[in-house]
Amino acid sequence: MASFDISERIIGDVAVVTIRGDVTPGRIEGVLSKRMVALASQGYRKQVLNLAGMPSIDSIGLGEIVRSYTTLTRQGAKMKLAAVPKRIVDLLHVTRLILAFDVRPTDEDAIASFK
């Protein structure tokens, strides 16, 4: 049984996807990208991934975030990260993935940046 939860809420034309819990080791593989692609197919081309409730991440979880971003971008959708814990921000810096993602402090900042 997974020890994490993925939920979404719609704010205007933006889907905010929130992950809560511990996704290690590799429990998120395929789950997040499928959820985000489904939202894009429903017309939500602007998406925010809120990671505030994620205390840690493994390489598979990080890969799943990259997969979601890549798949959405190829479909013409946009994804931004919000409320990313310092540990994960540090990992994004070390891996240089910080250069690929638009990281915002809050959901509200991420939503406003789409305009």
* Domain extents in the chain: 4-113
Fold adopted by 4-113: Transcription Regulator spoIIAA (3.30.750)
Is the model's pLDDT at 23 over the cut of 80?
no
Q: Is the pTM of this model over 0.85?
A: yes
* Confidence at residue 1, expressed as pLDDT on a 0 to 100 scale: 44
41-81 pLDDT per residue, tens: 999 999 999 999 988 888 888 888 999 999 999 999 999 99
Give the closest residue to 57 by CA, choosing from 15, 99, 85, 96.
Answer: 85
Q: How confident is the model at residue 82 (pLDDT cuts 50, 70, 90)?
A: very high
The whole-number pLDDT of residue 60 equals: 82
Give 80's strand partners.
48
Q: Both tokens of residue 79?
A: 């994804």
What pLDDT does residue 111 have? 98
CB under 8 Å to 55, separation ≥6 — which residues?
Answer: 21, 22, 85, 87
Q: Contact at 8 Å (CB) between 85 and 56?
A: no
